[in-house]
Amino acid sequence: MTDSNPERPAAQKPFRRLLLTGAAGNLGQQLRGALAAWADVVRVTDIAPLGDVADHEEASIVDLADEAAVHALLEGVDAVIHLGGISVEAPFEDLLEANIRGLYNLYSAAQKQGVKRIVYASSNHAVGFHPTTSVLDADAPLRPDSLYGVTKCFGESLSRYYFDRFGLETVCLRIGSSFEQPKNPRMLVTYLSFRDFIELVRCSLFTNRVGHAIVYGVSDNRTKWVDNTRAAFLGFRPQDSSIEFEHLFPVTAPTAELDDPTQHFQGGPFVLAGPMEPKR
């Protein structure tokens, strides 16, 4: 989705202004460097401090639950990469503000401002209660493994509605585990390298006419629980693999752990993490 405005000089970057939410987080920090080549201006936002702000960046501290502030954030934006929100299981009240109300604010404002596309950080936890013996494609039924996963299902549904009703496009990234390296044996399967994450976002922004799409964010790992055939039109081809980290987690003989639900289901420890009590 590039800017085809004939009044813009050819030498300019593909986008005039991109909005990156969650810019202070783990993945936001990885993406900020890459975005410099994709847009004249990158509006970076988070509820947390944003660190050094580059010349091409506009920084704004905003709580996604603040409706007026989110509407102001969307002014003049061509497309959004939405990484902001609570990224793990949490008490319902907290998830409600950041991931439900925050997401509604974002879509409502994006539609009013005429934003063309949102790249939405969904999660493997939208489908984490599928067993590890299944291979899931984009049509797999939602089976959230936590209230956090339920909020990601809400995001996938809300974005579907905004596409069907208003034509606002979304690519939902069901990200696996995107960190410097896998932290446990499960993450050998769910690992998404930072380089592959950036490439997935690039494909999601630059492919024409994505409509409403679901794509799994995993590297080319040896074991696969997901299948991106239905999202092949995005052209995402992971370059990395968790194979280089397999030595960190030697295979052991089967044990009684086979009865452990955190081993049985794709969501791993998330399947037992909630619901969490509110903080008093």
Active site (catalytic) residues: 148
Q: Binding to ligand NAI (CB under 6 A): which residues in 46-65?
A: 46-48, 63-65
Q: Which of residues 65-104 bind ligand NAI (CB under 6 A)?
A: 65, 83-87, 98, 102
Judged by CB under 6 A, the stretch of 45-53, 107-115, 250-258, 271-279 that binds ligand NAI is 45-53
The alpha-helical segments, DSSP class H, found in the chain are 26-35, 67-73, 92-95, 102-113, 147-166, 187-190, 194-206, 261-264
**Which positions lie near ligand 15L, rule CB under 6 A?**
87-88, 123-125, 177, 187, 190
DSSP for residue 66: -
Judged by CB, which is closer to ligand NAI: 40, or 69? 69
For the bound state, the minimum distance from the C-beta of residue 188 to ligand 15L, rounded and expressed in Å, comes to 11
Q: Which does 105 bind (CB under 5 to 8 A by kind): ligand 15L, ligand NAI, none?
A: none
For residues 3-42, which are near ligand NAI according to CB under 6 A?
22, 24-28
Question: Which residues, in sequence order, are CB contacts of 211 under 8 Å at separation 6+?
Answer: 163, 169
Catalogue the E-assigned strands of the chain.
15-21, 39-46, 57-61, 79-82, 117-123, 169-175, 212-217
Least distance CB 178 / ligand 15L (angstroms)? 7
User: Per-residue contact track with ligand NAI, 166 to 185, x per CB under 6 A?
Assistant: ---------x-xx-------
Q: What secondary structure letter does DSSP report for 4?
A: -
Q: Exposed, middle or buried, 257 (CB in 10 Å: 0-12/13-18/19+)?
A: exposed
